Amino acid sequence: MTGFVFNEKPIQIESGDGPYLYDDSGTEYLDMGASYACVPLGHSHEAVDEAVRDQLDDLTYVQASYPNAARTELYEKLAATAPDPIDKTWLCNSGTEANEAALKFARSATGNSKLIATMQGFHGRTMGALATTWKNKYKKMYEPLIGDVEFVPYDDPEELAAAVDDETAGVIVEPVQGEGGINPASTEFLETAREATADVGAALIFDEVQTGMGRTGSLWACEQAGVVPDMITSAKGLGNGFPVGATLCRDWIAENYGSHASTFSGGPVVSAAANATVSTIVEEDLPGHAAEMGDYILTELESAIGDDVREIRGEGLMIGVEVGRGANKALKELALNHGVLALPAGRTVVRLLPPLTIEQEQADAVVAALTDVLAEDDDA
């Protein structure tokens, strides 16, 4: 269950600084996956760590029914940064929980049960979210999962529109599929999802667990398409490494959320981490920086290895390189020969999700490493 590279290389990661990780022998690694997109500000970010230390001095935990300044600030911050009219938030501890809540809210707010998800989609591994996740490999041995889930091809507006009817509770979609191979949706697909759900009163859920927090070039990826869903789910980068998730929603959802709850919802320490993370991302315009660096890396990769690989695609700092042979061999070479840690996205895609703070020098190092590993790949 552990990492594919470090299964074979018995090292311990001991410290981190910005985009770099260091093992117990002092070897430096460039963390081009931002540890599964969880550290958009890089490792051991001072503003986040200081906010957490300050919060620990005051209060570690208080039950969610007692108001607390850190949690209240996070509700306000998320409402202020979410596209209008989304201004209500339910807090949790992970991406799958954020989606689990969204699926429950879609059912409670509509009174319907049918859920629509997309092929190659990934929404988490608890029973409900897993039922909307595409890959059988993740599901088979745990079945039966929750029922009434229908899958439609990703980025096919017609098939989606045909599937949505007056029995539909909700549609869940990633604006850019992450785990499924870095597949950006067309604006038309997201617009169709909006129109089709609005027509029948179903809830549109954008799973922004991976795309959110500035990664694609705007704070929320849906802003780039100009489509406002009924719910946005967030986690991964939200606390820059601290476990916090959120289900942001419109009033009609919040008014009919049923009786969902979680004991640890929005604890003071993770809220403090999320407040510092969101503030830093907004104040330093890291979404703008992500757009710029993403374009730079895509252009450089295209000219260096565009002819040697099947496809290079992405949005902002969410980049996939489709290689002919399995991605794992390339990832292993990147790590062991170049000290570059990247991620797979399915069997054939090398996925880059660097910290949003990455500088040109580090981008150049990654392009050079990928060029060395992938150029004139035998079976590309």
Tokens for 336? Answer: 């062991």
Scanning 93-101, 273-281, 355-363, 366-374 for contacts with ligand PLP by CB under 6 A, the matching segment is 93-101
Give the single-character DSSP code of 126.
S
Scanning 3-11, 23-31, 73-81, 173-181 for contacts with ligand PLP by CB under 6 A, the matching segment is 173-181
Shortest CB 104 distance to ligand PLP, Å: 15
Query: How big is the chain, counted in residues?
Result: 380
What are the angstrom distances between the C-alpha of 45 and each of 41, 51, 68, 257, 261?
6, 10, 24, 35, 31
Q: Does the footprint of ligand PLP cover residue 215 (CB under 6 A)?
A: no
95 is in an annotated binding site: yes
Task: Give how many residues touch ligand PLP by CB under 6 A.
Answer: 15
99 phi/psi in degrees, rounded to 5:
-75, -40
Amino acid present at 151:
F
Q: Does the footprint of ligand PLP cover residue 207 (CB under 6 A)?
A: yes
96 is in an annotated binding site: yes
HSE-CB of 135 using CA atoms within 13 angstroms: 13
Nearer to ligand PLP, 207 or 300 (CB): 207
207 is in an annotated binding site: yes
Shortest CB 303 distance to ligand PLP, Å: 29
122 is in an annotated binding site: yes
Q: Which residues partner with 152 through β-bridges?
A: 118
Select from 89, 96, 183, 357 the one that contacts ligand PLP (CB under 6 A): 96
Q: CA-to-CA distance for 264 and 92, rounded, in angstroms? A: 7
Site string for ligand PLP, 102-131 (x = CB under 6 A): --------------------xxx-------
* 85 contacts 251 by C-beta, under 8 angstroms: yes
Shortest CB 245 distance to ligand PLP, Å: 7
Nearer to ligand PLP, 305 or 353 (CB): 353
Shortest CB 326 distance to ligand PLP, Å: 21
Phi-psi map region of 240: left, alpha, beta (phi>0 left; psi -120 to 50 alpha): left
Shortest CB 37 distance to ligand PLP, Å: 7
R_g of the chain computed on alpha carbons: 20
Shortest CB 38 distance to ligand PLP, Å: 9
Q: Does the footprint of ligand PLP cover residue 178 (CB under 6 A)?
A: yes
Amino acid present at 148:
D
Tokens for 234? Answer: 């967030």
* 338 contacts 373 by C-beta, under 8 angstroms: yes
Scanning 89-97, 138-146, 198-206, 283-291 for contacts with ligand PLP by CB under 6 A, the matching segment is 89-97
Select from 68, 94, 168, 362 the one that contacts ligand PLP (CB under 6 A): 94
Nearer to ligand PLP, 32 or 304 (CB): 32
**Buried/exposed code over 58-73 (b: 16+ C-beta within 10 A; e: otherwise):** eeeeeebeeebebbeb
Q: CA-to-CA distance for 203 and 321, rounded, in angstroms? A: 33
125 is in an annotated binding site: yes
Shortest CB 337 distance to ligand PLP, Å: 28
Report strand pairing: 311-315 vs 318-322: antiparallel
* 271 contacts 78 by C-beta, under 8 angstroms: no
* 250 contacts 85 by C-beta, under 8 angstroms: yes
Nearer to ligand PLP, 102 or 365 (CB): 102
Scanning 53-61, 172-180, 328-336, 367-375 for contacts with ligand PLP by CB under 6 A, the matching segment is 172-180
Q: Does the footprint of ligand PLP cover residue 315 (CB under 6 A)?
A: no
Walk across the sheet containing 340-341 and list its strands. 13-17, 20-23, 28-31, 340-341
Feature table: binding site for pyridoxal 5'-phosphate: 95-96, 122, 207-210, 263
Binding site for ligand PLP (CB under 6 A): 94-96, 99, 122-124, 174, 178-179, 207, 209-210, 235-236
